Amino acid sequence: MHRYFFRPLDSPKIQTHHFAPLALRIARVLLRSKELQMALETRNFETLALHGGSYRTDPATGAVAVPIYQTTSFQFENADHASRLFALEQLGPIYTRIGNPTQEAFETRLAALEGGVAALAVASGQTASAFAILNIAQAGDNIVSSTDLYGGTWTLFSQTLKQFGIETRFVDPADPENFRRATDAKTRAYFGETLPNPKLNVFPIKEVADIGRSLGVPLILDNTASPLIARPFEHGAAVVVYSTTKYIGGHGTAIGGAIVDGGNFDWAAHADRFPLLNKPDEAYHGAIWTEAAKPLGPIAYILRARVKLLRDLGASIAPQNAFQFIQGLETLPLRIRQHNENAVEVANFLAKQASVSNVIFPGLQSGESKRRADAYLKGGYGGLVGFELKGGVEAGRWFIDALKLFYHVANIGDARSLAIHPASTTHQQLTADEQLAAGVTPGYVRLSVGIEHPDDILADLGQALAQADAGARQAA
């Protein structure tokens, strides 16, 4: 049944009533979301985290909490009802791979918090990054990406996208003009991380976004490490992606990702650069997405991502995971505040330690890096802190093994504190030069500072540093 969720259309030019049920459902959800936000008359994160989006109560039971619609399919009332759904004459869910009410509630609330027009939840952050590019790029195209990336994203762009025939041109974002220099007629997007993990030099959002808009190139920004404290759409970014596994969840129990469409980029004005959105789509009998989406609002980008990539590649988020991310959103403003406050204390503590040669933290930077941090991060500098031990790699190993409160895991953004050695883990597959470009030195240790009491966090760091010092002396 799922193969026919979006029935081939006879007309080469789709009108509003020709849209598949989910597409019209998106439009209805967007209207409900806007109406609710207007009723709330708020932009305060603490309120939107609980009340933003399309969901208020379950229409069937009146339940305040979002139900988990743990189902693959949705029952048709009778043969006539099924016929109307597949004839696109009536709205309604059909198959969870493309959409589910639990997923919908999460998407609209995240879009409300981010200030976007619509969101698409997917199976992981890696899926979000991949879909964000594949939605507008194909074989023969290229993107220009910051060198300051999470290791998994670097490998995705440098290796996997290459197999799709998409070239990635890596440039140093310290000079925004590098993006302009690397752009040609086949460039489909710029990509960066707001708060790069693990380099932690804040991306020049407005500078790069302005360059891109002057050339008709959208900026796609990974905001995983800086939800709420960074507002990419306000500085010109067109699309934001998240690994919702991290701070948005906060609990470390679910894998997921999301793409948020800012609705602020005119894809039709640059039709030659974006043929996937502006030329007839054979899978929909000639649908042109920028035209077809007009009755629904500025959602051509996110609409195509759902009805093409999610439908065909199937990297769907599970209803249970969507539910868990809704729980995360409800406490996100409170947790982010505590993450930020604790990270400042940790950075200041490490800066005073004789065994620490360097602390990497936006709040302790200077010059242009500090200016960007202050310009784009509001209410804190994030929960990530990096540092280098004078004892090098071996001291780093002793330090990691001595930690008691911190968990040694390949993740960030949990409520609990985490630590890792990127060169031997998250960035292991990069070459030595690529690691250095991403900010990873052999002795670099990355901390994801949790929301525990700061005294307990500092005590654990202190005893681990002492053991690392003792191990280094003994080895000498």
Q: What is the CATH number of the domain that holds 454?
A: 3.90.1150.10
129 and 271 belong to one structural domain: yes
83 and 23 belong to one structural domain: yes
pLDDT at 91: 55
pLDDT at 90: 57
pLDDT at 12: 34
Determine the Cα–Cα distance for residues 347 and 446; give it in Å rounded to an integer. Answer: 11
Determine the Cα–Cα distance for residues 432 and 427; give it in Å rounded to an integer. Answer: 10
| List of the chain residues with pLDDT < 50 | 1-22, 27, 30-32, 35, 38, 87-88
pLDDT at 394: 83
In a domain, 32, yes or no: yes
Determine the Cα–Cα distance for residues 178 and 62; give it in Å rounded to an integer. Answer: 54
In a domain, 198, yes or no: no
Buried b (16+ CB within 10 A) or exposed e, 164-193: eebbbbbbebeebebbbebbeeebbbbbbb
In a domain, 151, yes or no: no
Of 106, 114, 84, 108, the residue nearest 21 (C-alpha): 84
Q: How many domains does the chain have?
A: 2
The pTM assigned to this predicted structure is: 0.90
264 and 128 belong to one structural domain: yes
In a domain, 158, yes or no: no
Element (H, E) at 21: helix 21-40
Compute CA distances 193 → 50, 129, 198, 245, whole Å.
27, 11, 10, 16
In a domain, 374, yes or no: yes
109 and 248 belong to one structural domain: yes
pLDDT at 423: 78
- What is the amino acid identity at position 395? A
Full residue range of the structural domain in which residue 234 is found: 2-136+218-321
The domain boundary, picked from 321, 344, 371, lies at: 321
In a domain, 71, yes or no: yes
243 and 367 belong to one structural domain: no
23 and 126 belong to one structural domain: yes
pLDDT tens-digit profile of 114-161? 999 999 999 999 999 999 999 999 999 999 999 999 889 999 999 999
Residues 6+ apart with CB under 8 A from 367: none
In a domain, 346, yes or no: no
What Rg do the C-alpha atoms of the chain give, in angstroms?
23
pLDDT at 471: 79
CATH number at residue 68: 3.40.640.10
Beta strands in 172-256 (DSSP E): 187-193, 219-222, 239-243
In a domain, 181, yes or no: no
pLDDT tens-digit profile of 412-446? 999 999 999 887 777 777 788 887 777 778 778 99
Residue with tokens 């002793």: 398
Determine the Cα–Cα distance for residues 261 and 278; give it in Å rounded to an integer. Answer: 17
